[in-house]
Amino acid sequence: MQKRAFSVLATFALATFISVGSADAATESYTVKPGDTLWKIASQHKLTVDELKSLNSLASDSIKTNQKLTVSSKEVVSQQSVAKKPNAKVGTVVKETSSTNSWKNAVATTVKPKEPTLSSKKILTNAVETSLPLLGTPYVWAGTTTEGFDCSGFIHYVFSQAGLKMPRLDTIGMHTNSFNVDEPMPGDLVFFQNTYRSGISHAGIYLGDGNFIHAATQKVEISSINSIYWKDKFTAFKRFNQLN
């Protein structure tokens, strides 16, 4: 009798779990858990923080435990489909993410690598020397100061301090405005794809010996390109076009 009662209870619990799961899937919503942040939730659902805030009409980055958030949008899917159309032309206006402040024309260029000049080498060296004291600086979405950085904001700050004046770009903009290098030097850029979104989505500064420094999910830290997580997402070593 006890076994039968337990079986009935287990079946009811499983049915309830499936029902709740199906409801969440149908409404495509997410319940905030302790320790969650907008960035973490957006990353899990392949959204930007701005898209997540827009879907939920959030005026700030503040969220509460057990809060229900919408995590999908037909508009987002539609934008991604348009971006993949075969007749899209290089040089069209590309909307930047929340890591940037305006619209810019991003034009992919092919640059034949040259031996870096002494001034270019100096900037690369300065970039490494500038980046290392920033270890431990907290991650802040769209951050560009020593109060906090996101990955592109960190690179922009470092190279500006190193002597390379350039506009504030997101990772895609930096990828577009740089060229591939077969033999990377410390100070060169390293790019990754398919991290929190599809395509080019993360970048850091190469330190040599397979290591790079970057604004990771929590803080500025040093990671190995050959680690389990990063090696499958690595795309290229690159150098800013201005340094050719």
In single-letter form, the type of residue at position 74 comes to K
What is the distance between the alpha carbons of residues 155 and 77, in angstroms, rounded to a whole number?
30
Beta bridge partners of 239: 179
Question: Is 156 considered catalytic here?
Answer: no
Catalytic residue among 45, 151, 156, 175: 151
- Cα Rg for the chain, rounded, in angstroms? 22
Catalytic residue among 45, 156, 175, 202: 202
Q: What does residue 17 show for φ and ψ, rounded to 5 degrees?
A: -60, -45
Catalytic residue among 45, 156, 175, 214: 214
Beta bridge partners of 238: 180, 189
Question: Is 151 considered catalytic here?
Answer: yes
Nearest CA-CA partner of 120 in 71, 179, 39: 179
Catalytic residue numbers, as ranges: 151, 202, 214
